[in-house]
Amino acid sequence: MGIFSTIREKIFGKKQEPAPKTVPASANATRAAPKPATAPAAAPAPVPAAISEVDVEQRLDAMPGADKLNWRSSIVDLMKLVGLDASYDERKELAGELGRSDYGGSADDNIWLHKQVMNELAKNGGKVPAALRD
């Protein structure tokens, strides 16, 4: 699992796996007609709906220590808040995951990295205020 995935998991919570099918395949074969009619495509639908309602700002504000860290603009503080190592090497690896191979650790690089993390959280179903993304 990559660093961004860890950040996403810390904010969104563990990804919920679809419920295991309790009907054995042999029983399913004998009742094939009723199952497709009742086997809902709706069961997977609520999972994305639930994820899309994750308020990133609210979740981060609720974490212990959020009031002492500048996580809204600092990638270092954001990583510390979710319990990750915010060292240069970790930030460089995160930048690589997000498509940047020339990360040098400058203030501009860190601002870019923070915005990219927020953009990716939004793309992955988080509700992220525009001020934190762009």
Q: Tell me the three state secondary structure of residue 109.
A: helix
Question: Which tens digits make up the pLDDT trace of 50-107?
Answer: 444 799 999 999 999 999 999 999 999 999 999 999 999 999 999 999 999 999 999 9
130 pLDDT above the threshold of 60: yes
In sequence order, the β-bridge partners of residue 13 are none
Q: Which has more confidence, 123 or 47?
A: 123
Q: Which has more confidence, 111 or 25?
A: 111
- Average pLDDT, integer, range 29-39: 52
pLDDT of residue 53: 73
Percent of the chain with pLDDT over 70: 72
pLDDT bin (cut points 50, 70, 90) of residue 33 is: low
The residue extents of the domains of the chain are 54-133
- Average pLDDT, integer, range 15-37: 52
CA distance 116 to 134: 9
> Do 84 and 65 form a contact (C-beta atoms < 8 A)?
no
pLDDT of residue 19: 47
Helix (H) or strand (E) holding 20: none
CA distance 79 to 3: 10
pLDDT of residue 5: 95
Report the interhelical angle of 107-123 vs 88-97 (nearest 10°): 50
What's the alpha-carbon Rg for the chain, to the nearest Å?
19
Q: Kindly report the number of other CB atoms within 10 A of residue 98's CB atom.
A: 18
pLDDT of residue 14: 79
Helix (H) or strand (E) holding 54: strand 54-55
CA distance 20 to 62: 32
pLDDT of residue 36: 52
